[in-house]
């Protein structure tokens, strides 16, 4: 693994852990229905390893606390949080529903 990518993941994971501070949260990943924080962490790690920029926002005003994730590609403009929050959920692919 590229050391720079590994360092980016460690930095993001530590920031997430610190910002969540053991909050009972629901996670939102672009185009996904609401999911668990654990699933969002797997998605974030995979996205970082694939070279995407990933960041997060913890919104404690919502009940339950919401972990918002966003992703963008090198060279693209970083999406706004408003854009992220209005991204529609992609239709489910039944072939991916069972592992």
Pick from 81, 89, 78: which is nearest to 62 by CA? 81
Task: HSE, CB side, 13 Å, CA atoms: give it for residue 39.
Answer: 12
Measure Cα distances from 15 to 18, 20, 21, 67 in Å: 5, 8, 10, 12
pLDDT by residue (tens digit) across 7-40? 999 999 999 999 998 889 999 999 999 999 999 9
Helix, strand or coil, per DSSP, at residue 60: coil
In the chain, where are the structural domains located? 3-86
If one counts every other C-beta atom within 10 angstroms of the C-beta of residue 24, the result is 9
pTM of the prediction?
Answer: 0.84
pLDDT by residue (tens digit) across 33-86? 999 999 999 999 999 999 999 999 999 998 899 999 999 998 999 999 999 999
């Amino acid at each position: 693994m590229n050391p720079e990518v590994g360092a980016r993941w460690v930095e993001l994971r530590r920031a997430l852990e610190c910002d969540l501070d053991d909050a009972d949260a629901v996670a939102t990943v672009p185009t996904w229905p609401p999911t668990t924080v654990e699933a969002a962490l797997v998605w974030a790690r995979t996205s970082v390893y694939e070279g995407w920029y990933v960041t997060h926002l913890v919104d404690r005003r919502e009940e339950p606390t919401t972990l918002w994730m966003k992703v963008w590609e090198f060279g693209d403009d970083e999406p706004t949080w408003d854009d992220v929050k209005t991204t529609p959920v992609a239709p489910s692919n039944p072939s991916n529903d069972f592992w």
